[in-house]
Structure 1
């Protein structure tokens, strides 16, 4: 949900807002978005996916980070400030880490939908991640027990790679050989 529908919020003001309360806020080119508190099901789904991804990544070059963890998206040729808090980020380029956040583009992002801000993940973030070059984007819908996986094709556009509802294994294009049973994720 956007907090600043009609006015530009300078980046310094955004950091001031975040310092004065415990809410989770994201910043996209002068607009501040507040993330709703996650539901119990959201937390269960997030934890189960984090565990499966984490176990798969053991011994590899990539790391997994769960919300709340700031990602400042940057890419040559794109201006503006974008500070987001993905539910899950998988990051393989170590050069962007500092003590407070990651600066760069994660390789894979998972967003778990919340009834109050679905359009933020389904439209705003999908386009944002595509434009910045996130190689794979998972949209998890705990209301429908479904997962949709998009991958960045050669033309720089998201293409649906896999979709499942309630049953079956969902697969990753970026993490070769990775899959997870929907029954495990949602039950």
Structure 2
């Protein structure tokens, strides 16, 4: 049985977060701390790996960067100083095309694309509060990948909001809305899960 994500009681900022042990993985969402431990399942990791290969191959030689967790993504409000940022997430996979957002320590600002591969312990957070923060921050495209039922929800930002998600599953091919030449054959992502 998966354990629910533990929380540190209090209201936290990135400055606080930087003082915590690097042996623990945490996310901050609106100042609330969520524990990212224990490590994800091997099924989760295979799906992340397969999708990461597809993204990496597509963006090779292009100006965008593909990154995988753990990498801190700071989602500040307006000109909020780094130390004051209250939302710091670690998406499973992300694509950033604006090189000014990338530092050696973190990404500051909305990635162009975020993919979260759901696990029982994080699904509620990924489908709710994180989705809302990605929308607010301006993440152009957000994929929620369900490895167990082999479905994908694709949210696309239009006029600053995510509408109803497009749903994909076994046998489906999906073109990205942000990068139309990026086509994902979901059987290639989920195929190794069944092996």
User: In 2 relative to 1, CA 76–30 (structure 1 residues): closer, same or farther, beyond 3 Å?
Assistant: closer
**Match for 2:139 among 119, 129, 134?**
134
Q: Name the counterpart of 2:176.
A: 172
DSSP 3-state at the match of 1:17 = coil
Provide the secondary structure at the position in 1 that maps to 2:152: strand
2:95 alignment counterpart: 90
Structure 2, unaligned stretches of length 5 or more? none
Q: Deviations over 1:49-107 (max 9, x none)?
A: 11111111122221100011111113427784211101001000001222111111100
Match of 1:59 among 58, 61, 68: 61
* Structure 1 residues 114-133: aligned runs within 5 Å: 114-133=119-138
* Equivalent residue, structure 2, for 1:8: 11
Please state whether the residue corresponding to 1:110 is helix, strand or coil. Answer: strand
User: 2:86 matched to which residue of 1?
Assistant: 81
Aligned-partner SS, 1:33: strand
Distance, in Å, in 2 between the alignment partners of 1:100 and 1:13 is: 15
> Partners of 2:176 and 2:164 in 1: how far apart?
11
Query: Is 1:31 aligned to residue 32 of structure 2?
Result: yes
Residue 45 of structure 2 corresponds to: 43
1:146 aligned to 2:151? yes
Check conservation: 1:162, 1:171, Cα contact below 8 A: no
Q: 1:11, CA displacement in angstroms?
A: 4.2
Q: Which residue number in structure 1 is paired with residue 72 of structure 2? A: 70
Q: How many residues align?
A: 183
Q: Give 5+ residue unaligned stretches, structure 1.
A: none
> Relative CO higher for 1 or 2, CA cutoff 8 Å, sep ≥ 6?
2
**What is the RMSD computed on CA atoms of the aligned residues?**
1.9
